[in-house]
Amino acid sequence: MVEFSVKSVTEGIDAMGDVTIRLRRDGQLYSGHSAHTDVVVAAAEAFVNALNRLVAGTAGPTIHPQRDMAELDSSPVH
């Protein structure tokens, strides 16, 4: 792990925590990102996202789990 970053996106008791994790393997960087009101959940999601990228061998753009889930939720079900 070469980076673990937690930032507050909003203020107050229900503040959103934004987590970025970067892993390095064989000189290649793999990023994971998540935002959640529970920073432990956000950290776990970001870590799993980075690990999935590492296992898949892709270092593409960071995926935002909440945005991607919103797109899936709005897709018609067949």
For domain 3-74, say whether CATH 3.30.160.340 is its number: yes
| pLDDT value for 74 | 56
Within 8 A by CB and 6+ apart from 7, the residues are 17, 18, 19
Q: Are 60 and 31 in contact (CB under 8 A)?
A: no
For the entire predicted model, the pTM comes to 0.69
CA separation, residue 15 to residues 47, 69, 72 (Å): 20, 20, 25
According to the model, what pLDDT value does residue 49 have?
95
The total of other beta-carbon atoms located within 10 Å of residue 49's CB is 22
What pLDDT, on the 0 to 100 scale, is given for residue 24? Answer: 92
Report CA Rg, the chain: 14
The domain locations on the chain are: 3-74
pLDDT 10s per residue in the chain (78 long)?
999 999 998 898 889 999 999 999 989 899 999 999 999 999 999 999 999 999 888 645 655 666 655 555 555 544
